[in-house]
Structure 1
Amino acid sequence: MTDETDATRGDAVGPDPAAEFAAERSRLVGLAYRMLGSVHDAEDVVQEAWLRLARQDRAGIANLAAWLTTVTSRLCLDRLRAVRAQRERYVGPWLPEPVVSTAPGPDDVAEVDESLRLALLAVLERLTPEQRVAFVLHDALDVPFDQVASVLGTTGANARQLAVRARRVVQADAPPPAAPVGAQRVVVERFLRAVLTGDLPAVVGVLAPGVVLTSDGGGRVSAALRPVVGADKVSRFLVGLRRLALDAEVGAWTALVNGELGVVVRVVPLPGSRAEAGLTVVVPRVGADGLVHGIEVVRNPDKLAAAGAADA
């Protein structure tokens, strides 16, 4: 009798918005991160979505997941419009804030989520805010165009056209699909060993002839203000950085960075050292040929607050 009464009371109370939101939160942060390229901004947007839900009559929301997707996407659209001018004034190349986690073991199977790769998120920066929202919602997350149109406040036909234009930019500039993580591991470890030992020929040997290195310091730390192109220039750039830190303690370990195998480097200068203290996240993009075709280097300390979470 007591159990039946309690169950009846639970039905009368209805769903718990806090519990429902908690179940959706990870998905919403992932959605917002793909749109904004910043974990911090994504979490801010999702928190605002929660505050809006808390002010709503839950009984009036028929499909909570769709409602939260729409609200979060609109907040992202507003944030993209607001930060666009700031990013145009950014010092040097802009790269997304990396999401770093412990690297899988050799026997673990890990699939790369192409929609989260740093190189792809950097390409999305070239889209208009409306194009980026349309592309992420439809192409990356399979949201139907009628809901995309609702987010953008436009027609379904126009939402479709925005996604088509975004797709053209992405297809023209996005990197080839990532190699499996197991194949990446062999190449990344060769790359890391060659750079740490300052072995210039070995570094050249792991790089594709047309490799491009993009370095993001944001004006906060030293970084290349333009992409470095070609195996010879990139190898000399990397070995030069290592030589600058010869009088410092350097720790380096592999980690998953946005689903690809990358490297986290920690530099602790010794007294009198010229090296810069801090973390650097490096993502060598490994192609099917076993060579590194692109390298993203994130050095801006504002983007590396959580990068040390993966244990050495």
Structure 2
Amino acid sequence: MSESETRNRLRDHVENNLPSNTSSWSTDLIETIGIRKVLTTPAELVRTEWSLCSLSDAELSRIDELVRICSLPCVDFSTVEEIPYYNARPYRQWVQEWFPKIKVNELKLFNENCEEFGYLLFDTIQQLHKSETRSSQLPYEVNYPVLFEKFLKLFELKIKTQPCLPTGNATIFGQEVISSKADILCTKCDDPSKILSVCSEVKRSRSDETEYSPVNKKLRTELPTSATDNEEESTSTRSTGGLSSDVYAQHVGELLAYYESSVLKRGLLGVIFQKTNISFTFLKIKPASYEKIKRRNPQVVLDPAMDEQPILFYTEQFNFLKYQDRKTIFKALLTMRMMDIKSWDY
């Protein structure tokens, strides 16, 4: 896109007013702002791009060890509906078989949180089974945000959930944009006002009540050659799970809305979750670039030659019910947790 075309599109957005809610943001707006997408892996995104603080080789090795210890190999399914349920098996037997107790010095409440996660999972499959066996009963709706919240608690992250979340807001092109509230905020362990990560659920479309599906228009993506991990599938063989470009645009809107509360000045970490599939993101943006976006007019364009363009690093989707995927997710979240704790000591 030429500079004149960019300015014309920006002028149209400014003159026609920006959507006041980020749930209405589209790919076109993100391209106009000048944000480009780069595909990477969860480990690379958290350890290298986000990188709240540096970890030693010993600490990185310990994370790998914790992944092996804590990854719950008995839980290996594609969907909640696929998990078997047996009337004759009581909860206590089920949770002991699937969530054996493990001693983890870094996660002192891991067993308690595992049991809480397992309890919700057991109740969910029990309710699904009951709705299937009673023809007069409506299908059971799985509460995926709560399930994901319980999953996050395995890592003893400090979280805030609806309805007690602050509403993110930002000024874009001189106009105040009020974000819809994020679904979950992960906050700094020693400062609840500082955000580690913004977690957003993929909502159903208002128009047809179906989930977002891929659209033809794609944002330009790049895959760094360094973004590899032995425990992660090749990004060339993994599906994005049907996330449309507009989903990323709306997520970027939320990241911008909460950016000023980020624990880092150079960006904000995010998670997009769709049922039990999650994708990690990191919006890398210089404070000077953010200030330009806030007050920018059609005559001002972020200059790639000056490294002013923001970058949305993002990953493919990983399913926290699947064992191999969960190891990848655990590694990213354990790295995030250890960096959070270590930065407290600085």
TM-score where L is the length of structure 2 = 0.24
Higher helix share: 1
Q: Which has the higher contact order (CA 8 A, sep 6+)?
A: 2
